Every structure is written in structure tokens, then in C-alpha cells.
């Protein structure tokens, strides 16, 4: 069917059979049998305008500046839809930011709980690494208890939490983020082992770059003479004034060399163990049962691996990561202890350690370190997984 702009010119140009029809046109052309072409063009353009031109045509048709009720209703509905979409985008962005915050808190709480629990073992490890203690383990415990009392085993724990809480928060969140992005980038339905190791290494580097100043301050505080520096603020001012701002980043290179493989091994091993279990008949059965009884399960029962298996897998992953990267940790601690006048490179420090104590010196304190890492890693992963359930952290 042709539009009005096609048939109207023919109709109004044709000669009417009844002359009285001309009067029906409003008496405009009483003396003519045809309508002038200029008037035809005007009518044709006004009719074709709203059909082809949309909003432009509406302005022509509404010569008095008033829109029809239908047009106003359609425009109002369109505005409401646009407003709703904009509000929805804001809500999505807000919920995403809130989810990131919850994710970070899950990692931070896991660090607070685990570090406080194993603070005495952490103190023993530092005594071996920083002071170069040669005493037997139980003899060292007696020495600390006699000189500083029970609270001596938690010396530096507050600073340790200030360091490890943001470190673990960033570490856990960065790993989950990098892993999901790598999976999207490669188009894989499941994370591969390679992606796990790469994400773990990248997350370790990210967390180290952001958090190493607090670690340096803590190491300085527990070193000989650290008591006289006046706590966190005093140690910070002392290092800035005597050695400059970048003294806070002493040991950055060995830290990265340590945390990159440590993160790769820690998260990679845990995820491999977790994936293997979830793909086993027992794991599939457990997940299926959890889906059926999800409303009746408490937070502990919602752990995919279960409480015991989560603790065991976390401990295994932590032990593997610690053993693989411990020499880098020893070198890093020694670098953080050096003063500006006698500062050595990471390689020179490593050579000096070997010259003074042989290769075993690079593993000084490994046993107490493993005793500390096993429960720390187990509790850390357990609390992290638990807090994600409690806080309802959405997977990325």
C-alpha cells in the first residue's frame, strides 16, 4: 500500500467529476479546476514529514506546540525506561564495589586470625633468621620467656597484622581476579594449572609491591635495638630520616623473587588439590548434596571441601610454598637489616650468607618456619573460605 505522499498528489491534481467538490476544499480555489503545484508540494512535505522524519514531523503536525496524548505517554515511558536503565547501571557498579570490599575483608580477617594464632612461632622464626640464633628450639623458647615473659612471643604481632591483613586481602583478591580474567581471556571453561600458577605469581608480585614497607618496619622493630625506636611511627620516622624513603623498600627484588613463586605454588597447589577432589566421585556427590540441602546448611557445612579437608589442603599448599622459596626469604630479611653505609646487593648478600654459614644457612629456621606455616596456611585458607560464605562474596 502506497503512503499518502504517493497517492495525494494524484488525487488532488486530478480533475474532480463534480465541480461542487471544489467547494469542499474550503473554497480556496473556486475559479480553478486544479490545485496549484506549490500547494500540493506543501501538503506533500507536511504529510511525509512525520512518517519519514519521526520527531521532526511531530513538530510540524503539532503546529500549536502541543503533542498528542499518545506521543506524551510514549515519551514518558521512554524516559522512565532510560532512567531505570541508568539506575540499574549504578546499582550494578555499587554492588560490584561492595562485593570487592567483602572479598578484601575475607582475606584480611583470615590474616588476622591466622597470624595471631601462630605469632609465637613467627617470633621464633625471626630470631633464627634475623639474629642468627644457633640455640636449640626449646632453649630459645626458654630464653624469650625468661627475658620478656609470655607477651614476648607476641612481640611485633600488631605490626605483623598491619602488614599481613592488607597483604593477604590483596593477595587472595588479586589471585581470584587474575585467575578469572585469564580464564575469560583463554576461553577455557575451567582454570588450567598453568593459569593457576600464573595468577598466583602475579598476585604475589602485586601484594608485595603494595605492602613491603610495613614488612620492613616490622623487621626493623624486632631486630636488636628496635625497642628504642618507639614503635611503628618511631621506626618509620627513623628510617626516613636516616636512610631515606626508599629504605622502606629494602629487599624488594628478593621479595618479588620470593613471593612470585611462593604465590604460584601456594594457590596453585591448593587449587589443584581442590579441583581434583571436586571432580572425584566423592566430591561430585558432596556438591550435589549441598545443592539439594542448601537452605538447611550452616556456613561450615557450605564449605565445598568441608572443614577438615580445607585445613589439610591449606597446610599442604603452605608447606610446599615455604620450602620452595625459603632461601629468598632469608636473603630478604638480611637485606632489610642492612644500613645504608654497608648495604649490599641481593646477590652479594646471598653469597655472604653462604660464606658465613654454608648452604644450610639459607635454610636457617626452616623447621620452626614450617611449624608456623602449616597451621598458618591451614587456618588462613579455612577462615578465608568461611568468611566468603558468611559475607556472601559473589564469585567473579
Q: What is the number of structural domains in the chain?
A: 2
Cα distance between residue 286 and residue 280, in whole Å: 10
Residues 273 and 131 in one domain: yes
Cβ neighbours for 146, distance < 8 A, ≥ 6 positions apart: none
Q: What is the mean pLDDT of residues 126-150?
A: 76
2: left (phi over 0), alpha (psi -120 to 50) or beta: beta
Q: Which of the two residues, 278 and 1, has the higher pLDDT score?
A: 278
pLDDT of residue 110: 96
What pTM value is reported for the model? 0.63
Give the domain range for residue 19. 4-61
pLDDT score recorded for residue 79: 53
Nearest to 369 by CA among 330, 343, 334: 330
* Structure-model confidence comparison of residues 150 and 85, the more confident one: 150
Question: Is 231's pLDDT higher than 90?
Answer: no
Q: Which cell numbers in the block locate residue 344?
A: 649490599
The stretch 243-254 carries a mean pLDDT of 84
pLDDT tens, residue by residue, 291-347: 888 778 888 889 999 999 999 999 999 999 998 888 888 887 788 777 666 778 878
The model's confidence at residue 55, banded by pLDDT at 50, 70 and 90, is very low
Residues 190-224 have pLDDT tens digits of 889 999 999 999 999 999 998 888 888 877 887 77
Which band of pLDDT confidence, cut at 50, 70 and 90, is reported for residue 132? low
pLDDT at 249 over 80: yes
Residue 78 has pLDDT above 80, yes or no: no
Q: Is residue 72 part of a domain?
A: no
Residue 110 and residue 39 in one domain: no
Share of the chain above pLDDT 90, in %: 31
User: Do the domain assignments include residue 349?
Assistant: yes
Question: Whole-angstrom Cα distance, residue 159 to residue 217?
Answer: 8
Is there a single domain that holds both residue 252 and residue 184?
yes
Note the pLDDT of residue 92: 39
Distances (CA, A) of 302 to 100, 267, 289, 306: 21, 21, 10, 7
Assess contact for 175 and 268: CB atoms under 8 A. no
Please indicate, yes or no, whether residues 36 and 126 belong to a single structural domain of this protein.
no
What pLDDT is attached to residue 80?
A: 46
Q: What are the C-alpha distances in Å from 263 to residues 31, 141, 276, 360, 393?
A: 97, 30, 20, 24, 22
Q: Quick one: 56 and 194 in the same domain?
A: no
Within-domain flag for 93: no
**Same domain, yes or no: 167 and 288:** yes
- The confidence score (pLDDT) of residue 313 equals 97
Same domain, 116 and 37: no
306 in a domain, yes or no? yes
- Tell me: do 176 and 305 sit in the same domain: yes
Asked if residue 364 is part of any domain, the answer here is: yes
Q: Does residue 35 sit in the same domain as residue 153?
A: no
For residue 81, being part of any structural domain is answered with: no
**More confident of the two residues 116 and 255:** 116
Kindly state whether residues 45 and 130 are assigned to the same domain: no
In a domain, 89, yes or no: no
**Residue 396 lies inside a defined structural domain of this protein:** no
Q: Within this chain, do residues 12 and 142 fall inside the same structural domain, yes or no?
A: no
Q: Which cell numbers hold the place of 277? A: 577432589
Q: Place 93 in a pLDDT band, splitting at 50, 70 and 90.
A: very low
On whether both 250 and 125 belong to a single domain, the answer is yes
- Rounded to the nearest 5 percent, the helix, strand and coil shares of the chain are 80, 0, 20
Average pLDDT, rounded, for the chain:
78
Whether the pLDDT of residue 83 is over 50: the answer is no
Amino acid at each position: 500500500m502506497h503512503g499518502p505522499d504517493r497517492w495525494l498528489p494524484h488525487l488532488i491534481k486530478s480533475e474532480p467529476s463534480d465541480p461542487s467538490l471544489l467547494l469542499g476544499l474550503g473554497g480556496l480555489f473556486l475559479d480553478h479546476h486544479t490545485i496549484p503545484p506549490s500547494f500540493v508540494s506543501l501538503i506533500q512535505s507536511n504529510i511525509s514529514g512525520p512518517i519519514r522524519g519521526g520527531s521532526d514531523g511531530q513538530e510540524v503536525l503539532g503546529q500549536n506546540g502541543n503533542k498528542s496524548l499518545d506521543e506524551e505517554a510514549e515519551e514518558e515511558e521512554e524516559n522512565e525506561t532510560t532512567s531505570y536503565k541508568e539506575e540499574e547501571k549504578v546499582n550494578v557498579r555499587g554492588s560490584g564495589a561492595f562485593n570487592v570490599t567483602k572479598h578484601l575483608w575475607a582475606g584480611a580477617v583470615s590474616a588476622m586470625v591466622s597470624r595471631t594464632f601462630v605469632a609465637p612461632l613467627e617470633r621464633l622464626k625471626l630470631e633464627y633468621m634475623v639474629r642468627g640464633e644457633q640455640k636449640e628450639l626449646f632453649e630459645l623458647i626458654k630464653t624469650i620467656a625468661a627475658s620478656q615473659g609470655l607477651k614476648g612471643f607476641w612481640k611485633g604481632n600488631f605490626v605483623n597484622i598491619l602488614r599481613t591483613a592488607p597483604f593477604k586481602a590483596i593477595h587472595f583478591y588479586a589471585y581470584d581476579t587474575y585467575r578469572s580474567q585469564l580464564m575469560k581471556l583463554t576461553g577455557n571453561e575451567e582454570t588450567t594449572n598453568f593459569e593457576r600458577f600464573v595468577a598466583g605469581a602475579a598476585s604475589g608480585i602485586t601484594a608485595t609491591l603494595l605492602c613491603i614497607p610495613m614488612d620492613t618496619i616490622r623487621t626493623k622493630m624486632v631486630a636488636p635495638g628496635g625497642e628504642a625506636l618507639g614503635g611503628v611511627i618511631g621506626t618509620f620516622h627513623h628510617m626516613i630520616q636516616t636512610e631515606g624513603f626508599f629504605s622502606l623498600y629494602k629487599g624488594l627484588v628478593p621479595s618479588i623473587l620470593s613471593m612470585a613463586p611462593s604465590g604460584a605454588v601456594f594457590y596453585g597447589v591448593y587449587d589443584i588439590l581442590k579441583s581434583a577432589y571436586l571432580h572425584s566421585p566423592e566430591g561430585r556427590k558432596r556438591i550435589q548434596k549441598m545443592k539439594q540441602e542448601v537452605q538447611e546448611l550452616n556456613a561450615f557445612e557450605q564449605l565445598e571441601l568441608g572443614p577438615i579437608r580445607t585445613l589439610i589442603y591449606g597446610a599442604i599448599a603452605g608447606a610446599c610454598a615455604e620450602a620452595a622459596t625459603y632461601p629468598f626469604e632469608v636473603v630478604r630479611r638480611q637485606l632489610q637489616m642492612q644500613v645504608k653505609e654497608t648495604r649490599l646487593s641481593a646477590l652479594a648478600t646471598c653469597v655472604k650468607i653462604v660464606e658465613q654459614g654454608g648452604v644450610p644457612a639459607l635454610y636457617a629456621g626452616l623447621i620452626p618456619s614450617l611449624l608456623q606455616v602449616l597451621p598458618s596456611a591451614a587456618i588462613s585458607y579455612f577462615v578465608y573460605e568461611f568468611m566468603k560464605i558468611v559475607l556472601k562474596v559473589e564469585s567473579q
